[in-house]
Amino acid sequence: MKTINSSRRRWLSGAATLPLAAAIGATSAPAHSRVLTNARIVIVGSGLGGIAAANRLSNQLDGARITIIDGREAHYYQPGWTLVASGVWPAAKTVERNADYHPAGVEWIKDHVAEFDPVGNALVTRSGQRVPYDYLIVATGCQLNYGAIEGMDVAAIGQNGLGSVYHSVDAAAATWSAMDAFRKTGGKAVALMPHTPMKCAGAPLKMTFMLADRLRQAGTLANSDLTFYSGVGSVFGVPAYNEYVINRFEGMGIDVVFNHRLKAIDIAGRRATFTTTEGAEVQTDYDFIHVVPPMSAPDVVKNSDLAWKEGPFAGGGWLEVDEETLRHRRFGNVFGLGDVNGTRRGKTAATVKASVPIVVNNLIDVIADRQTAMRFNGYTSCPLIVREGSALLV
């Protein structure tokens, strides 16, 4: 626990060395002395990316006026939620305070952004405050679109065999309650992944592996029936791991069904309705289900000029950044960091870790009127838990 928390703290505070950062994610890492500037830099989002960027900027700039905007006081270690939802970790181990990670001298506006005005170099918060900036980093993460599933009620997670690790730390803990109850008897279980880009594409798989492992430990796997429904034609983006997971699922008796999207759920009746890509409807009963919602950029990004207007990332309203420099393709004083980015790169904490030095150094290059020097090489990773105590590092 101490080791995990102290390394997380070290990274968020920007203390990780530049050569290490360069090794995992950058093609060049120029060493510049601290840059003197009175620029107003606004960071939207105080999650993993926003906090790490604020710390690095504070370390590398003299005189900059840095503001973080996020209405959330708590800081969540989301990668720990799969462990909470499968009964390995207590929920409290994944909850900290944003205030403990903000660097000294950074202003924190405890509000959410309601509107971006990149033409006017300003944004407006939900309470109506207009905040002007010279440079902007958008690090708002993903939006979970549970509302797109008819009948879904996030307040019911934990009841009637309904699990969903993604919603919140409380939902992760409630998911474990439902899984723990289910494993005692076993029965029919449904797991799934959506058709949209999602954060930690490994998490739906980890939840399925852990569900099977918990049934195995309880001695109820043999009399259970597990099916994994994928919203697309694979279960993982990298072909070698896709094949590995499918083979391993089949070896454990987990059926895999492709191109099925969760359309509706009857929570009290424990029935799920999927639509196929051909438009057919398929219904299935279950005793336990793990729901993963479709995801998009937050509406505030999606509805702004900052979103892609065409191409594969336009539908989700993802941020239109260059996938190598992470600079906005149309607004040169805007950078994107983390899950909100509309690129082909993974939406993981590992990607955020590799991208933070690139965003920060390239932003400083722009401030100093230099060419942006660093390029993101697409690094990502996922510790794919396959049973309690064992993971495959993808």
Ligand X SMILES: Cc1cc2nc3c(=O)[nH]c(=O)nc-3n(C[C@H](O)[C@H](O)[C@H](O)COP(=O)(O)OP(=O)(O)OC[C@H]3O[C@@H](n4cnc5c(N)ncnc54)[C@H](O)[C@@H]3O)c2cc1C
Beta bridge partners of 123: 116, 131
Q: Are 230 and 193 in contact (CB under 8 A)?
A: yes
Nearer to ligand X, 7 or 283 (CB): 7
The one-letter amino acid code at 280 reads A
Nearer to ligand X, 245 or 352 (CB): 352
Residue 37 is classified by DSSP as: -
Binding flags for ligand X, 351-390, as an x/- string (CB under 6 A): -x-----------------------------xx-------
Please pick, from the candidates 192, 200, 235, 374, the single residue that binds ligand X as defined by CB under 6 A: 200
The structure tokens listed for 226 are 């597990």
Residue with tokens 């939840």: 207
Q: Which stretch binds ligand X (CB under 6 A): 25-33, 148-156, 251-259, 343-351?
A: 343-351
In the region spanning residues 49 to 88, those forming contacts with ligand X, defined by CB under 6 A, are 49-50, 69-70, 72, 78-79, 81-82
Nearer to ligand X, 112 or 370 (CB): 112
Q: Is 44 in the site for ligand X (CB under 6 A)?
A: yes
Q: Is 199 in the site for ligand X (CB under 6 A)?
A: yes
Nearer to ligand X, 315 or 383 (CB): 383
Min CB(347)–ligand X separation in Å: 5
In the region spanning residues 134 to 173, those forming contacts with ligand X, defined by CB under 6 A, are 139-141, 165-166
Q: Is 203 in the site for ligand X (CB under 6 A)?
A: yes
Min CB(35)–ligand X separation in Å: 24
Nearest to 151 by CA among 261, 235, 263: 263
- Ranges of H-type helices in 289-377: 299-302, 349-367
Q: Cβ-closest residue to ligand X?
A: 47
Nearest to 111 by CA among 169, 171, 52, 67: 67
- Ranges of H-type helices in 42-158: 48-60, 81-85
Q: Are 313 and 302 in contact (CB under 8 A)?
A: no
Strands 271-276 and 260-266: antiparallel
What residues contact residue 33 under an 8 Å CB cut-off, 6+ apart? none
Please pick, from the candidates 58, 94, 224, 348, the single residue that binds ligand X as defined by CB under 6 A: 348
Q: Is 204 in the site for ligand X (CB under 6 A)?
A: no
Beta bridge partners of 73: none
In this structure, the chain runs to a length of 394
Residue 311 is classified by DSSP as: S
Nearer to ligand X, 221 or 386 (CB): 386
Could you list the residues that contact ligand X (CB under 6 A)?
44-50, 69-70, 72, 78-79, 81-82, 112-113, 139-141, 165-166, 199-200, 203, 298, 300, 338-339, 347-350, 352, 382-383
